[in-house]
Amino acid sequence: MTEADISATVEDYANAASNAIEAGFDGVEIHGYRSGRDGSGDFSNDVVATTCNQRTDGWGGDVERRCRFHLEVTRAVISAVGSHRTAMRLSPWSDYLDMLMDDPIPTFTHLVAELKKLKLGYLSLIEARIRGNDDSDVAAGQDVGFLVKLWNNTSPVFIAGGFTPERARETVDETYREYDVGIMFGRHFVSNPDLVDRVKKHIEFADYDRSVFYTPKLAKGYIDYAYAPEHGIQAS
Ligand SMILES: Cc1cc2nc3c(=O)[nH]c(=O)nc-3n(C[C@H](O)[C@H](O)[C@H](O)COP(=O)(O)O)c2cc1C
């Protein structure tokens, strides 16, 4: 990308954010990482990661320059919609496309320390519990705790990645008891439209069907999962 391309892209983020608010959204979560095949990895980890960003100009090289794009986008979005409506999603341990850095901690520490100054509405983090399409355990020392602690209750932190209700409870009540942390569910929310009620009432989750996760324009796998019979209500 040329300097002009970069400026135009930063502006695109700000415009997209304004449009989202105008359309009625409460806020925007900037995807600051490359997540996978769902297309959300547009600006992403590539820019911050030494494994991918080989630039030697003002946008690559040392940690400050690799984090610059994220920070400029964030500032532009904040100018457009306000910091309380702006969040950033990061996945420091993602190994998608082999882009995991040998040591991502210094880069993400710098980035989050700078984001902290911008007083975002929340910080959104992903635990690397998914490798490709498979669930795995978080490798020793490769969790997002260093960022939760660094954020230090600046605003809430939301964490996703392979949570079960029990693991969510442990994470909120035990691991991060002193921090304002919420847990997000992804795949299980697809197959459980009543997920929150199921968690509250200890009702087992229905399994999801991965083969229909990425099938645009089809209702199957998106809106045809049933409510738990225990509720006595039908999905419309
Ligand atoms: C069908 C599908 C689409 C997704 N799309 C996005 C997306 O656009 N952006 C994003 O950041 N994450 C996306 N994700 C990832 C989820 O937000 C979540 O981080 C991930 O599934 C891990 O949480 P889970 O273990 O509860 O599923 C998607 C996941 C699924 C299953």
Give the model confidence (pLDDT) of 131-179 as tens digits. 666 777 888 889 999 999 999 999 999 999 999 999 999 999 999 999 9
If one compares 236 and 39, the residue with the highest pLDDT of the two is 236
Residue 153 Cβ inside 6 Å of ligand 1? The answer reads no
Residue 176 lies in a domain: no
Residue 50 lies in a domain: yes
Residue 201 lies in a domain: no
Residue 55 lies in a domain: yes
| 3-state SS assignment for residue 89 | strand
Ligand 1 atom with least separation from CA of 31 = 11
Q: Please name the residue whose Cα sits nearest to atom 3 of ligand 1.
A: 38
Q: Which domain holds residue 107?
A: 3-143+158-164
Over residues 214-236, the pLDDT tens digits come to 999 999 998 999 999 887 766 55
Over residues 167-209, the pLDDT tens digits come to 999 999 999 999 999 999 999 999 999 999 999 999 999 999 9
Phi, psi of 160, rounded to the nearest 5 degrees: -125, 165
Q: Which has the closest alpha carbon to 94: 127, 62, 71? A: 127
Residue 43 banded pLDDT, cuts 50, 70, 90:
low
Residue 206 lies in a domain: no
Residue 160 Cβ inside 6 Å of ligand 1? The answer reads yes
Residue 56 lies in a domain: yes
Burial class (CB in 10 A: 0-12, 13-18, 19+), 56: exposed
Over residues 177-187, the pLDDT tens digits come to 999 999 999 99
Ligand 1 atom with least separation from CA of 184 = 26
Residue 185 lies in a domain: no
Q: Which domain CATH number covers 64?
A: 3.20.20.70
Residue 215 lies in a domain: no
Number of domains, the chain: 1
Q: Please name the residue whose Cα sits nearest to atom 5 of ligand 1.
A: 38
Q: Which helix (H) or strand (E) holds 137?
A: none
**What distance in Å separates the CA atoms of residue 72 and residue 110, rounded to the nearest whole number?**
14
